[in-house]
Amino acid sequence: MIKKGFEETQEDLFRERALVLTRAGESVQVALQKLSEIEDGMKHRLKSIKHSVEENNYETGTKIDNSPGGLTEKLLDEINSEILKYNNTREYAKLRYYYFIVTREAMGLRIHKMVEEIYRIPPKKECINSRE
């Protein structure tokens, strides 16, 4: 009778540990997914901007407005704003990853090679300098 209660308690503890690890891993995965979505949006925006610039240059034979406050500067500001959003989300993903590793360590899981391969945090992006 006592042994059965102890085994049930152990099973409950193992289930709870698995649930905690699952939640921690999912929070990293959600943050990385958001990062990927932001990056995809940036790539799409850059392609459409490039297409618009090329089309405008072809049709009008003129260059796009490079003056301060001109269209190019506004586009660069938009792109840099997206880069900042990306970098902030990246920092959040790094924090979630750190919490996941700490949780694993607290549960006695010391080898993280597989976790490092699955949850890769991409490098930070640099803002575009409008003076170039």
Are the CB atoms for 31 and 96 separated by under 8 Å? yes
Please write the tens of the pLDDT for every residue from 94-116: 999 999 999 999 999 999 999 99
d(CA 29, CA 114): 14
d(CA 52, CA 123): 29
Question: If you average pLDDT over each of 5-9, 28-32, 74-78, which comes out highest?
Answer: 28-32
CA angle 103, 107, 112 (to 5 degrees): 65
Q: Which residue has the higher pLDDT, 12 or 45?
A: 12
* Per-residue pLDDT, 70: 60
CA angle 59, 46, 85 (to 5 degrees): 145
CA angle 14, 20, 26 (to 5 degrees): 135
* Per-residue pLDDT, 4: 85
Percent of the chain with pLDDT over 90: 58
Please write the tens of the pLDDT for every residue from 45-64: 788 777 776 776 665 555 55
Q: Which residues contact 76 (CB under 8 A, 6 or more apart)?
A: 128, 130
Are the CB atoms for 63 and 57 separated by under 8 Å? yes
The DSSP H or E segment spanning 17 is: helix 2-60
